[in-house]
């Protein structure tokens, strides 16, 4: 079954418009998908028609002791999810402050970036992030490519590094639940400490993104076992941002039986 419950548009840090992403999903034959932009639901104000079933979604960035933990939320009403929207606004303000500090530090290190240059790359996005900074540096000819920016300039050891200051994961989980949504822990394979899975389950996460492009077969087997042990449903997502980074483009081919419990939770 071809599904995708994790994808991004230009409303956060993706490269496609909402219409272009939906077209990509339809062209690939994805049957059910969600647009899960970082800290914004704007895509749901501009949805075109699709042959697929579209389930409202969000990816909320959270921070704990300097560690980024991403919480996905599904099947809420984007037009009336007040707890989610209040949470997202707090995160967007933190993002803007972080990017301003990052720009200042990069300028001090010899990379004269401006807020206007980053805003141009954001193209109206509500959720500023490091990819916008990286693209601005590349467009200005200061750095050869986006990966070099991430490796050398804005990583933990780089001169432009600024730690995240997002809300906490329990706050995000609570906001999703109070908005009638289904909270899921994103890409557990990217966590530095797998015990976070247990912690998030204790805080109310009900699902785990087991099927993810960078998860190896042993990792999938491990996370499948963790989901079963903790009573979590399994989800699948490509985390699509840009075809240059996502070689398989959109969609994850999974056994329907594996995600049927999740589909039932979101009313599919």
pLDDT of residue 246: 59
Give the whole-angstrom CA distance, residue 131 versus residue 242: 11
From the centroid of its chain, how far is CA 89? 16
Q: State how beta strands 67-74 and 182-185 pair.
A: antiparallel
Give the whole-angstrom CA distance, residue 158 versus residue 153: 4
**130: confidence class by pLDDT, cuts 50, 70, 90:** confident
Count of other CB atoms within 10 angstroms of residue 112: 12
Confirm if 86 and 186 have CB atoms less than 8 A apart. no
Confirm if 26 and 51 have CB atoms less than 8 A apart. yes
Mean pLDDT of the chain: 92
Could you read off the pLDDT of 59-94 as tens digits, one per residue? 999 988 878 899 999 999 998 889 999 988 888 888
| Range of weakest confidence among 4-18, 116-130, 133-147, 167-181 | 116-130
Which of 98-107, 144-153, 221-230 shows the highest mean pLDDT?
A: 221-230
Which residue ranges form the domains of the chain, and what is each CATH number? Answer: 2-85+168-265 (3.20.20.140), 88-153 (1.10.150.650)
Residues 6+ apart with CB under 8 A from 173: 71, 183, 200, 203, 204, 205
**121: confidence class by pLDDT, cuts 50, 70, 90:** confident
pLDDT of residue 8: 95
pLDDT of residue 248: 62
Q: State how beta strands 252-253 and 2-4 pair.
A: antiparallel
**47: confidence class by pLDDT, cuts 50, 70, 90:** very high
Question: pTM, whole model, 2 decimals?
Answer: 0.86
**245: confidence class by pLDDT, cuts 50, 70, 90:** low
58 vs 11, higher pLDDT: 58
Q: Closest Cα partner for 36 from 257, 209, 216, 215? A: 209
Tell me the two tokens of residue 239: 């985390």
Give the whole-angstrom CA distance, residue 224 versus residue 222: 5
| Range of weakest confidence among 11-15, 38-42, 211-215, 250-254 | 11-15
Give the whole-angstrom CA distance, residue 74 versus residue 172: 12
Give the whole-angstrom CA distance, residue 191 versus residue 3: 23
pLDDT of residue 247: 60
Residues 116-141 have a mean pLDDT of: 85
């Amino acid at each position: 079954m071809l599904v995708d419950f994790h994808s991004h548009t230009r409303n956060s840090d993706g490269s496609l418009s909402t219409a272009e992403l939906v077209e990509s999903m339809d062209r690939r034959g994805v049957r059910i998908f969600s647009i899960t932009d970082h800290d914004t639901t704007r895509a749901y104000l501009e949805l075109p028609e699709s042959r697929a079933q579209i389930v409202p979604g969000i990816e909320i960035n959270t921070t704990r002791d300097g560690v980024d933990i991403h919480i996905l939320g599904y099947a809420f009403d984007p037009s009336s999810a007040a707890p989610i929207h209040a949470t997202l606004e707090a995160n967007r303000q933190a993002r803007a402050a972080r990017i301003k500090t990052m720009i200042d530090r990069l300028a001090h290190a010899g990379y004269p970036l401006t807020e206007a240059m980053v805003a141009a790359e954001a193209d109206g996005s509500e959720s500023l992030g490091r990819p916008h900074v990286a693209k601005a540096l590349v467009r200005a000819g200061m750095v050869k490519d986006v990966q070099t920016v991430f490796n050398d300039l804005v990583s933990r050891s780089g001169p432009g590094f600024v730690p995240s200051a997002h809300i906490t994961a329990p706050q995000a989980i609570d906001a999703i639940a109070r908005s009638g949504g289904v909270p899921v822990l994103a890409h557990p394979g990217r966590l530095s400490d797998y015990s976070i899975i247990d912690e998030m389950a204790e805080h109310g996460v009900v699902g785990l993104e087991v099927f993810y492009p960078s998860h190896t077969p042993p990792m999938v087997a491990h996370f499948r076992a963790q989901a079963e042990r903790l009573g979590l449903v399994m989800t699948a997502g490509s985390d699509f941002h840009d075809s240059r980074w996502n070689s398989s483009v959109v969609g994850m081919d999974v056994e329907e039986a594996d995600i049927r419990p999740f589909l039932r939770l979101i009313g599919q």
